[in-house]
Structure 1
Amino acid sequence: MAVAWIEELFTVGEQRVDELEVYGFSGTSISADLKQRRVSLCSSSVETGLCIRTIDKGKIGSSSTNDPQQWQACLDAAIAGGRLATPQEWKGLPDPVALPTTDFAWDPDLVVEPTTAQELLVGMLEGALEYPDATVTSGGAGVAVGEITFANSHGVRYTSRQSDVSISLEAISGQSTGYEFDHAFSRSQVNPQRVGEQAACLASRSAGGKDIPSGEYDVVLSPMAYADLLSGIFVPALSGRNVLQGRSKLATKIGETITAPLLSFFDDPHRVGATGSTWFDAEGTPTRRLDFVRDGVLTGFAYDLKTAYRAGLQSTGSAIRGGFAGLPAIGHHNFVVDGKRDVVFDEPAIYVHSVVGAHTANPLSGDFSVEMSNPFWVRDGELAEPVRGAMLTGNFFDLQRQVAALGKESRAVGSYILPPVKINNVRVIGK
């Protein structure tokens, strides 16, 4: 992104407000969608844009545009919006620090062309052929590269390049479906054949499932299933904003044991190879490892600048944005679940590949009831016969104390990096 107009923006803006920041993005992407075994849509996009945030006498204003050349009008709109805002406690934007210039999640050799997406789709379709009784219903592949530019009136000037490759496939066999995905920053790190084979395998092997009676069972949640429940229930309770608003069940539990001692949760923004890794957050605050739970004990919460100042604290470098037009919000970069690793398939249990309905859980109480997708009995260390549709229910905060083991291999699920998790005595509603 051009620098000349950014410097001109600060020259003009600093005469009108106390502080301001610019968050800019430019990138290109290719995506292709499957309908059964044919490409139904292929699209490409070139995206540029910026968001300006102004602070004047504690009043915060913002505006965004997808045309950086219109920065003057964007600045005017941000200042006008700030005049209508309510003043709040504010202690200033970050000052510049010397950060490494290496990019964590960047593949300079990634080719953003339709042929790349096509190769990924073909690979998944070839993998699905391993289970001829399963029919591919849909799928997709996406390839993207982009650059973030962050600057503020304190002299911060940071840039970061990112690349992304994502694939997914869904298959059906009879009344049973299977879904699998993969994503990484490099083409070499995704395995389309495996994604296609796994989706077809799940659909094929889930056919003919048997009902189970309601009761308490030991359950192994796949990384996908555990990430869905974590993101909908537990992680919101770690937000400093929810703590300040009295909307976190964990607000008063710092220093207390809240999970099984084998569990540790932390944000690792400097993890090599992870797609969320970054040296600075969406407000220009340098990032660092942030421990939430260490050996079962709650140790901290996540804060951005605005929420930290309200709480009389410092930002934890946890600000994220959902695109250039989005304002900073509290989040995480790479949420890692870690601890002592063990075997999770050593005893009879129910394996759950994914869940449906995690968004309906109550993040305040932790109560949830979700449908199990692609569940199987675990016998003799392997997946055995499929289980017909049943529900998992309970309190997710309480279940963290019942975690019995973490699997040996972790995988990335969105911004989460985690292993399969075995939890004892989980309530299952069957027939």
Structure 2
Amino acid sequence: MTDLADLTHRILDAARRAGAHDADAVAVQGTSIAIDVRQGQLEKAERSEGIDVGLRVLLGQRQACVSSSDSRPEALAAMAERAVAMAREAPADPTVGLAEAAQLAQVTDTTDLELYDPSPEPDPAALQDAALRAEAAALQNPGLSQVSETSAGYGRRQVHMAATNGFSGGYARSDIGLSCVAISGTGTGMERDYDYDSRIFQTDMRSPEEIGRTAAARAVERAGSRRPRTGAYPVLFDERIASSLIGHLVQAINGSAIARGASFLRDASGTQVLPAGMNLTEDPHRPRAFGSRRFDAEGLPTQTRAWVQDGVLTGWVLDLATGRKLGMPSTANASRGTGAPPSPSVTNLALTQGTASRDDLIAQMGTGLLVTSMIGSTINPNTGDYSRGAAGFWVQNGEIAYPVNECTIAGNLRDMWRGMIAANDARPHLSRVVPSLLVEGLTLAGD
């Protein structure tokens, strides 16, 4: 295993020798395994290992980023020289720059966040066995036509970041996952659905049999889907896809969009965007959550904050550069890969849950649509107008009546968010803990 802390500091040394005024570097070393099975046979087995390094150099108000998978000393020197040459030609930007030393995180140990499973890497044969068990369990459902794909995977990676302002910190992450996609019906009457699980710790995974059975049951439930009626109806977004509504909110309060004036929420800070009593909270320190981290990609300490408090929007998601553009401090939300400069993004989110179950909301909605899957997306960033293809189940008199597909739901996100009613069914281990959400009065385009 390469010493990534030493590697990032060698990259910084190369940048200084090449003429950089300031620089930061990131190194990622990882292993991934991917297994696909179909019809009881192994269809694909892939394993990859490698190191990726990224360097950002600054010459006054000019910056450039380069990346490489070659960590030899001569390659690092060439990368640094190339980055400095690029920076000399880059346009000046008064908002670029590293954090001040006083802003940097003092605690970088992530052990308590449990981001890495120390148990041995699973054998590819064990991943294949799990996928085969999920497929076999799905095929036990007599209403199923086929299992189109079953996949199992594992990954682990070490990350280290360092900068000329004195920051140096790293962490390890691991993940394991299993998914099954099932199909009911034949020809033009085919309907597909899925189930999956993805965790940091292998012992937290649901059983392959449960995943296969659930995927099959969902696909069979969708057999005989037809288009719903056209009109204005309440729509219940199932927990599996409800987080997309919150994703649109997060995109609209991203500092990059705000700084460009390209968000319909650009004047909404301090105003009501969700129902009273509803909070949207970010917790980057939640154990065993994929988004957790002690410091952001610029070395600033992360913290828990409410982006929406009692329904009121509290501010923007910022890194250092977007904060400078808006005359605000960073919210320690910088993220980055090896080939690009930092940009704002959120970590773990949780939306206030309600007291009603999903079934309670189905009964409450009377007649309308339960959406379980969505395709396509047309979101007007300047107005919040929303239109997406959807499939799910028609609800009649408070009960699920029949499956539906090939319909479009439309509305305006501002109105949708302010009228949402939350269920109590969010899965707590996900990075985005969002329950099923009932939205009144959306326009459905079907038959």
Same fold per TM (> 0.5)? yes
Is 1:59–2:59 an aligned residue pair?
no
- Tell me the equivalent position of 2:290: 275
Q: How does 1:326-345 map to 2 (within 5 A)?
A: 326-345=340-359
Contact 1:259 1:400 in 2 (8 A): yes
Map of 1:123 onto structure 2: 133
Aligned with 2:167 (options 144, 152, 156) = 156
Aligned-partner residue type, residue 19 of structure 1: D
1:385 aligns with 402
Counterparts of 1:196 and 1:376 in 2: how far apart (Å)?
25
Q: Which residue of 2 aligns with 1:351?
A: 370
List structure 1 runs of 4+ shifted beyond 4 angstroms.
Answer: none
Pairing partner for 1:10 from 9, 12, 15: 12
Q: Quick one: which of 234, 237, 254 aligns to 2:249? A: 234
* Deviation of the 1:173 alpha carbon: 0.7
Write the mapping of 1:89-168 to structure 2, written as runs, cut at 5 A.
89=94, 90=96, 92-95=98-101, 96-103=104-111, 104=113, 105-134=115-144, 135-168=146-179
Residue 222 (structure 2) aligns with = 206
Q: Distance in 2 between matches of 1:92 and 1:326?
A: 15
In the alignment, is the contact (CA less than 8 A) between 1:368 and 1:396 conserved in 2? yes
| Aligned pair partner of 1:318 in 309, 330, 333 | 333
Using the alignment, how far apart are the partners of 2:48 and 2:308 within structure 1? 40
8 Å contact from structure 1 (residues 182, 190) kept in 2: yes
Q: Which residue of 1 aligns with 2:442?
A: 426
Q: Counterpart amino acid of 2:82? A: A
Q: 1:397 aligns with which of 410, 414, 423?
A: 414
| Contact kept in structure 2, 1:410 and 1:420, CA below 8 Å | no
Structure 2 distance, partners of 1:403, 1:5, is 49
How far does residue 312 in structure 1 lie from its aligned partner after superposition? Answer: 2.0
Shift of 1:50: 0.7
From 316, 327, 331, give the equivalent of 1:301: 316
Identity %: 26
Report deviation, 1:351. 1.8
Q: Would the aligned equivalents of 2:110 and 2:293 in 1 still touch at CA under 8 Å?
A: no
Partner of 2:202: 187
Shift of residue 243, structure 1, vs aligned partner: 0.7
Alpha-carbon offset, residue 74 of structure 1: 1.4
Residue 254 of structure 2 is aligned to residue 265 of structure 1: no
Distance (whole Å) between structure 2 residues aligned to residue 234 and residue 107 of structure 1: 32
Going from structure 1 to structure 2, the CA distance change for 1:22 and 1:209 (only over 3 Å counts) comes to same
Conserved in 2, the CA contact under 8 Å of 1:94 and 1:285?
A: no
Q: Which moved more, 1:27-36 or 1:86-95?
A: 86-95
What is the root-mean-square deviation of aligned Cα atoms in Å?
2.2
Question: Which string of whole-angstrom CA distances, capped at 9 and with x for unpartnered residues, describes residues 63-116 of structure 1?
Answer: 111112221111111111111112222453353432151343211115143123
Q: Map Cα deviations across residues 368-391 of structure 1 (whole Å, 9 max, x no partner).
A: 2222223353776x7553234322
Deviation at 1:176, TM superposition (A): 1.4
What residue ranges of structure 2 are gaps of 5+ in the alignment? none
Following superposition, the deviation at residue 179 of structure 1 comes to 1.9
- Structure 1 residues 228, 38: CA separation in 2 closer, same or farther (over 3 Å shift)? farther
Q: Describe the shift of the 1:246–1:252 C-alpha distance in structure 2 as closer, same or farther (beyond 3 A).
A: same
State the alpha-carbon separation in 1 of the partners of residues 229 and 215 from structure 2: 27
Whole-angstrom CA distance in 1 between matches of 2:443 and 2:232: 4
Q: Which moved more, 1:338-347 or 1:79-88?
A: 338-347
Conserved in 1, the CA contact under 8 Å of 2:236 and 2:371? yes
Unaligned runs of 5+ in 1: none
Contact 1:145 1:161 (8 Å CA) reproduced: yes
TM-score (norm 2): 0.88
Q: 1:272 to 1:4 in 2, by over 3 A?
A: closer
Q: Is the 8 A contact 2:27 2:53 kept in 1?
A: yes
Q: Is the 8 A contact 2:15 2:77 kept in 1?
A: no
State the one-letter code of the partner of 2:210.
R
Change (3 A) 1:219 1:98: same
State whether structure 2 residue 88 is matched by structure 1 residue 88: no
Count residues with an aligned counterpart.
426
- Tell me, yes or no, if the aligned pair for 1:124 and 1:169 is still in contact at 8 Å: yes
Q: Is the 8 A contact 1:60 1:85 kept in 2?
A: yes
**Which residue among 66, 74, 82 is the counterpart of 1:77?**
82
Pairwise CA distance, 1:396: 2.0
> What residue in structure 2 maps to residue 374 of structure 1?
392
Task: Rate the CA distance shift 1:384–1:196 in 2: closer, same or farther, 3 A.
Answer: farther
Q: How does 1:13-52 map to 2 (within 5 A)?
A: 13-14=15-16, 16-52=19-55
